[in-house]
Structure 1
Amino acid sequence: MSTSEVYDYIVIGAGVQGSFTAYELVKTKKKTLLLEQFTLPHTRGSSHGQTRMIRKAYDQNFYADMMDEGYELWAQLEREAGVKLFRRTGLLVMGPENSQSYLDFKSTLEKKKIPMMVLTPDNFNQHIPNVILADGDGAFVDTTAGVLYADRALKVAQEQFHKLGGVIKDQEKVIDIKPGLTVTVSTSAGVYQAMGLVITAGPWANKLLAHVNLHLPLEVVRINVCYWKEKVPDLYHVNKRFPCFLLTEGEGVKDHIYGFPSNEYPGLIKICEHEDAQARSRSSNICYHNGSETDPDQRDKKTDCADIDILRRYIAHYLPGVIPDPAVIESCMYTLTPDRHFVLDRHPAYGNIVIGAGFSGHGFKFGPVIGKLLCELSLGELPSYDLSPFQISRFQTIKSPL
């Protein structure tokens, strides 16, 4: 094309991180374009689905610190849009009571004085019926936690961005990026220029970063999102005050298992496996997923079900009211960094290109905070948080897996 549209900032990728980044930029009166390769809404990336967990229970203090503001920003968006985005359910955390992972989760809440209820084997079933606590396991409840209505939240963020004058163009795949004082982005439908660019492309991050001579150690994996049928309808329903839950580790369980009360599909409870690099290798920053890497454009060709076998065994032993065979299996993608921490940084060679990537399956709840941080980086402002855990430079000593 002979002419280009000119903006102050372009954001590539309209998932939760990109949508909130664009929203924050347009709030500062910057002319902002949000580009998306698929038709919105879509289920191809990592931000789709009805629910995500929101919690302060983390085994790293810096995530709990960020979520203090995260809760406030989600509540602010609810007020601005007049739409319910969050339901408080509490989060039941279980795990071997002397294990490092369980103790780290508990310690974070104690240090930050986050409201919690410690349960004992004697009173566990009074508070949490229809769940069996494994011998030797401890349990506590992060009473601030709950469920985010993900699809609704993403739609609201995009609507608020549009109301403030932001431009969304979907069905436009980026085919080239030319860095410089002015960044030029070419898509399947047009050419755009801006003084700043933010890349929040999820599983497609490295495909886009190749245009600006950068490759990050990101691994894209297909995840099974499983729903299991209750033996008695609504036994684990959100209206029965059944909480979200998280098993830090256990017998035959290498990674976290997490679940939601039944709500999305009638009579079905969502229970999935989530890999935790910290639990696998606490003495090293190097940890790779034990599955095979997935091309995000070929996602549904991968059919690994090892996680489902683990979930079947767990449910059969510890959730007596759930049929241990998945009723619905959906697909999602994680974009994993070796240490499972995010990438929030400027391009090492081009300061006007900012990158948000590698959210490793736990980034959705941070959407409003990450949007604010990527906006601050784009504007050249001092970030609101210490971003050293999220800098690209930390990967310089990462070695290839054996």
Structure 2
Amino acid sequence: MSPGPPCPQVGGGGGRGHPHVPCAPQFILPHSRGSSHGQSRITRSAYPRVPYARMMPDSFHLWQRLEAEAGTSLYRRTGLVVLGPAGNPELEGCRRSLRAGEVLDATALAQRFPGLRLHAGEVAVWDGTGGVLFADRALRAVQDVFRRHGGTLRDGEKVLRVDPGTALTVTTTAGVYRAPRLIIAAGAWTGALVAPLGLHLPLQPLRIDVCYWREKEPRSPGTGRAGPCFMAMGLPRAPHGIYGLPALEYPGLVKVCYHHGSPADPEERDRVPLGAPHPDIALLSSFISSYLPGLEPRPAVVETCLYTNTPDGDFILDKHPKFGNIIIGAGFSGHGFKLAPVVGKLLCELSLGEEPSHSTAPFAITRFPGVLRAAL
């Protein structure tokens, strides 16, 4: 297959690394201004939504290929438990996605993982494929392999405008680029970037508190296995779900976060009003006291991250409805990292006019009414 002419990428969308393809993130790499920084992300097979469950085997395979090509480990298998009320539709969806997903009651869970506690009417679904992706390491590997295949990273360039046409023009703070195709994957900045192209995408950037909680009895280094990752869904006091990863980033600190946050301007994500309340941290403290008794109920470290959410929590992976040579990847809603290799492949296939390897119908722009406006 001939890759055809170069296809620039705005904001670092994935792809197969065509020669001389420029990728232009606006900040110097590595940076912590978006959604992909940090040391760890959960990966799993358990997914309540069928489209993602179908994509995950491909994603695992592509991560393994990247590991082999980069010559470094990007994944640690810890397993994952999904907690929730028995019969909860999302929990049942996760169980179905695993086909033979093992269901644990409170006694079985406590025997296997003493640090996790269930309550009356709750169960846990075990996903043995779940684990931790080393996010920072993965990004470095992607960038190294991208360069090795002839790609060019031009960090520190802010995109000022995109002029559509048969030959697209992208103007940045450092120069002007022209190409027949363009992939826009600009995270929380996507809405502002595509508005002059006549698109009003319903994207909501959210500022997320990323919290680390101290183990009351830390494990000795090098002894014992790390605990599992976990997700809690369907809990009345945490409607958006809670997730956690074992103490792999900071010694003795377990990462536990609420899968939601407060609306944020990505240009001012680090500006927190003085004395601003942290209702999400209070919610997490209550959860930890109830479900994770081996952790101190006050966070030891609080960092921040950005989600860019769509109203339905599903991705946008589609061509511009009017300009078919502009492809957009956005709205990953806090669960895109694990699927990044598949997302990159799909965006590449869309840009080349190939049949997508997975259906992109659930990710169409036109599922949202009124998105197409007159271009500015």
Q: TM-score, normalised by structure 2?
A: 0.93
Matched, 1:329 2:299: no
Q: Which amino acid is the alignment partner of residue 176 of structure 1?
A: R
Instruction: Give the equivalent residue in structure 2 for 1:205.
Output: 190
Q: How far 1:304 moved relative to its partner?
A: 5.3
Deviation of 1:235 after TM superposition, in Å, equals: 8.2
Q: Which residue of 2 aligns with 1:287?
A: none
Mapped contact 1:238–1:263 kept (Cα < 8 A): no
1:170 aligns with 2:155: yes
**Matching of residue 81 in structure 1 with residue 70 in structure 2:** yes
Whether the aligned pair in 1 keeps the contact of 2:44 and 2:130 (CA below 8 Å) is: yes
- Whether contact under 8 Å (1:58, 1:64) holds in the other structure is yes
User: Distance in 2 between the 1:259 and 1:211 partners?
Assistant: 39
Runs of 4+ in 1 over 3 A off after TM superposition: 235-239
SS at match of 1:253: coil
Say whether 1:255 aligns with 2:253.
no
Answer yes or no: is 1:120 the counterpart of 2:78. no
182-191 or 238-247: which moved more? Answer: 238-247
The equivalent residue for 2:117 is 132
Structure 1 regions of 5+ residues with no counterpart?
Answer: 1-6, 276-290
Q: Is the aligned partner of 1:12 residue 2:10?
A: yes
- 1:94–1:247: 8 Å Cα contact kept in structure 2? yes
Aligned to 1:40: 29
- Quote the Cα distance in structure 2 between the aligned partners of 1:353 and 1:304: 41
> In structure 1, what is the equivalent of residue 348 of structure 2?
375
Q: For residues 115 and 221 of structure 2, what CA distance do their matches in structure 1 show?
A: 8
Corresponding residue for 1:224?
209
- Kindly state the Cα deviation for residue 119 of structure 1 after the two structures are TM-superposed: 1.3
Partner AA of 1:11 in structure 2 = Q
More helix by share: 1
Q: Is the CA contact 2:257–2:284 (under 8 Å) kept in the aligned structure 1?
A: yes
Instruction: Give SS of 1:249's match.
Output: coil
Q: Which residue of 1 aligns with 2:359?
A: 386
Count of residue pairs the alignment pairs up: 364
Paired position in structure 2 for 1:316: 289
TM-score, reference length from structure 1: 0.87
* Alignment partner, residue 316 of structure 2: 343
Residues of 1 paired with 2:370 and 2:194: CA distance?
20
Counterpart-to-counterpart distance in 1, 2:221 and 2:285: 17
d(CA) in 2 for partners of 1:211, 1:397:
15
Letter in 1 for 2:161: D
Find the aligned partners of 1:311 and 1:237 in 2 and give their Cα distance.
28
Closer, same or farther in 2 for the Cα pair 1:395/1:239, shift >3 Å? farther
| Structure-2 residue corresponding to 1:214 | 199
Q: 2:141 aligns with which of 130, 144, 156?
A: 156
1:384 partner letter: S
1:298 to partner: Cα distance? 0.5
1:269-290 CA-partner distances (Å, limit 9, x unpaired):
0000114xxxxxxxxxxxxxxx
Q: Distance in 1 between the 2:173 and 2:353 partners?
A: 30
Are 2:51 and 1:58 equivalent residues in the alignment? no
Aligned-partner Cα distance in 2 for 1:165–1:238: 43
Q: Which amino acid aligns with 1:174?
A: V
Structure 1 match to 2:81: 92
Residue ranges of structure 2 left out of the alignment (5+ in a row): 372-376
Cross-structure match for 1:67:
56
Shift of the alpha carbon at 1:387?
0.8
Tell me, yes or no, if the aligned pair for 1:177 and 1:186 is still in contact at 8 Å: yes
On the 8 A contact 1:25/1:375 being kept in 2, the answer is no
1:252 to partner: Cα distance = 2.0
Question: Which whole-Å CA distance do the structure 1 matches of 2:151 and 2:17 have between them?
Answer: 9
2:229, 2:244 within 8 Å by CA — same for their partners in 1?
yes
Q: Percent identity?
A: 48
Residue identity in the other structure for 2:270: D
Going from structure 1 to structure 2, the CA distance change for 1:69 and 1:34 (only over 3 Å counts) comes to same
1:326-372 deviation line (CA, Å, top 9, x unaligned) = 11000100000000000000001111000000000000001110000
Structure 2 residue aligned with 1:297: 267
| Per-residue deviation, residues 158-184 of structure 1 (Å, max 9, x unmatched) | 110001111110111011111100110
Structure 1 residues 351 and 307: alpha-carbon distance in aligned structure 2, compared to 1, 3 A threshold: same
